[in-house]
């Protein structure tokens, strides 16, 4: 009988396209940004060289301005919508025109710290370091125009939590008139009841067409977007990556990059306080177009634990997760909220990548039991339901795509932590 680790490696190999890995066959046939950076952690357990390559391929497709796109369309495939013709970004290898959670800095440090082949690791990090630093600089220059220390996303897909309840209210400000008629592909691969709605898709598309109309000039898009949301989870990932990159830069004698990234991280941590909600016991999103906090206690506000928030905040987050009372942790939305939907994508289901980052942050903050419970729950899900895209937090039912790449990568990570 094959072990969980064997199956995880088999899935990572099956979805490997040589220099990048697809999230799963059919539903997602290209390279996704944060999927790749987290997938590399799994690959590193059995092939160090291949793990570095995964991240390098992504950065080969970095835009001259510094942005790293959320999808790289390496090979044509009509199984996915919106494809390269809709984005029309004019890149040599076609890409989308928005970004995704910048977890690369964190992944680089983790790969580096664990490397058996240190000479190989130093050479690979040295080449990637300035590219990741350029991406971080791009964020603070284009997505934090007032220098608050926190960046905004301008499309829900950037958060990686596509249809979270967090976006419902800010999305009301995004029109749908005039969009080109389209046919969705995702609902041909997965159950439509577990995916975003048509109304949400219309708004996703309106934003894409609006940005395309501005020639994908990333210096203009933030101010021109009716959707500008400061997501605590997204910012925590950026802050953690800045701090990790600063450590790596110090190690490699890149003092200026270290100073710059440490400053981003310190300013960011201080600014995170403005997103804290005492009644919810967690952080919340801020709608930047209104300067109001969004009343939605999603997992984005728990993911904030991934960066070095104060320890009392981390302890409160651990309690909030306990209060969800779900059988499996961590629900992407609390079941106590009437908008919770146990099976619909980011409106309730559990995602292993999110579990991994929350557990990692809580452990660092000293919340060792809370981290261990998340790890155990994640592995229980795999044993009971296999390597799915996401899971019902009440029943553990596997949902979305199957034989999922980043789920497999996280399993290798969780197993190595248990040892
Ligand atoms: C979905 C997820 C996003 C992920 C992508 C590929 O769009 O919401 O976070 O990157 O699928 O797995």
Residue 289 has a pLDDT of 96
Q: Report mean pLDDT in 10-residue bins for the chain, 419 residues.
A: 90 98 94 98 97 98 98 94 97 98 98 95 98 98 98 98 98 94 92 93 97 98 98 99 98 98 98 98 98 98 98 98 98 98 97 98 98 98 98 98 97 89
Q: What is the 3-state secondary structure (H, E, C) of the chain?
A: CCCHHHHHHHHHHHCECCCCECCECCCECCEEHHHHHHHHHHHCCCCHHHHHHHHHHHHHCCCCCCCCCCEECCCCCCCCCCCHHHHCCCCCCCECCCCCCCCHHHHHHHHHHHCCCHHHHHHHHHHHHHHHHHHHHHHHHHCCCCCCCCCCECCHHHHCCCCCHHHHHHHCCCCCCCCCCCCCCHHHHCCHHHCCCHHHHHHHHHHHHHHHHCCCCCCCHHHHCCCCEECHHHHHHHHHHHHHHHHHHHHCCCHHHHHHHHHHHHHHHHHHHHHEECCCCEECCEECCCCEECCCCCHHHCHHHHCCCCHHHHHHHHHHHHHHCCCCCCECCCCCCCCCCCCCCCCCCECHHHHHHHHHHHHHCCCHHHHHHHHHHHHHHHHHHCCCCEECCCCCCEECCCCCHHHHHHHHHHHHHHC
Residue 56 has a pLDDT of 98
Residue 288 has a pLDDT of 98
Cα separation, 282 vs 392, whole angstroms: 22
CA of 194 to the centre of ligand 1 (A): 14
Query: For residue 158, which phi and psi values (nearest 5 degrees)?
Result: -65, -35
**Residue whose CB lies within 8 A of the most ligand 1 atoms, among 32, 34, 161, 231, for a mutation test:** 32
Atom 12 of ligand 1, residue of closest alpha carbon: 23
**Residue whose CB lies within 8 A of the most ligand 1 atoms, among 15, 23, 99, 300, for a mutation test:** 23
CA of 252 to the centre of ligand 1 (A): 33
Residue 417 has a pLDDT of 84
Residues with CB under 6 A from ligand 1: 23, 28, 32, 34-35, 160, 162
Q: pTM for this one?
A: 0.98
Cα separation, 251 vs 239, whole angstroms: 19
User: Of 286, 394, 407, whose CA–CA distance to 356 is shortest?
Assistant: 407
Cα separation, 230 vs 4, whole angstroms: 37
User: Of 306, 290, 24, 284, whose CA–CA distance to 165 is shortest?
Assistant: 284
**Residue 230, strand partner residues:** 286
Which ligand 1 atom minimizes the distance to the CA of 159? 9
Cα separation, 239 vs 354, whole angstroms: 16
Contact 75, 68 (CB under 8 A): no
Known catalytic residues are: 162, 389
Residue 1 has a pLDDT of 55
CA of 162 to the centre of ligand 1 (A): 7
């Amino acid at each position: 009988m094959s072990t969980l680790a064997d199956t995880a490696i088999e899935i990572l190999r099956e979805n490997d396209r040589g220099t990048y890995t697809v999230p799963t066959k059919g539903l997602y046939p290209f390279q996704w940004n944060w999927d790749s950076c987290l997938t590399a952690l799994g690959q590193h357990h059995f092939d160090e060289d291949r793990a570095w390559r995964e991240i390098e391929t992504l950065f080969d497709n970095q835009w001259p301005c510094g942005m790293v796109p959320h999808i790289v369309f390496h090979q044509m495939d009509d199984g996915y919508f919106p494809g390269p013709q809709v984005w029309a970004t004019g890149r040599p290898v076609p890409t989308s025109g928005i970004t995704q959670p910048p977890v690369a800095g964190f992944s680089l440090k983790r790969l580096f710290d664990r490397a058996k082949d240190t000479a190989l690791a130093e050479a690979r990090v040295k080449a990637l370091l300035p590219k990741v630093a350029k991406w971080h600089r791009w964020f603070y220059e284009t997505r934090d125009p007032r220098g608050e220390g926190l960046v905004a996303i301008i499309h829900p897909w950037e958060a990686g939590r596509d249809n979270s309840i967090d976006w419902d209210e800010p999305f009301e400000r995004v029109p749908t008139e005039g969009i080109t008629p389209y046919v969705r592909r995702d609902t041909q691969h997965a159950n439509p009841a577990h995916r975003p709605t048509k109304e949400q898709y219309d708004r996703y598309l309106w934003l894409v067409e609006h940005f395309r109309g501005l020639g994908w000039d990333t210096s203009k898009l933030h101010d021109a977007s009716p959707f500008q949301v400061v997501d605590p989870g997204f910012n925590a990932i950026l802050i953690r990556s800045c701090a990790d990159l600063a450590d790596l830069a110090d190690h490699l004698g890149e003092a200026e990059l270290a100073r710059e990234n440490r400053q981003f991280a310190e300013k960011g941590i201080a600014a995170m306080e403005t997103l804290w909600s005492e009644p919810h016991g967690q952080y919340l999103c801020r709608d930047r177009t209104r300067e109001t906090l969004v009343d939605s206690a999603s997992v984005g506000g728990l993911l904030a634990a991934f960066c070095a928030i104060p320890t009392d905040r981390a302890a409160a987050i651990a309690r909030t997760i306990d209060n969800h009372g779900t059988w499996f942790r961590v629900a992407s939305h609390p079941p106590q909220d009437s908008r919770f939907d146990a099976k619909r994508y980011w409106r309730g289901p559990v995602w292993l990548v999110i579990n991994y980052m929350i557990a990692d942050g809580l452990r660092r903050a000293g919340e060792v039991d809370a981290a261990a419970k998340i790890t155990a729950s994640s592995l229980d899900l795999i044993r009971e339901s296999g390597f799915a895209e996401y899971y019902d937090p009440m029943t553990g039912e596997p949902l979305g795509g199957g034989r999922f790449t980043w789920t497999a990568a996280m399993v290798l990570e969780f197993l190595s932590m248990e040892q």
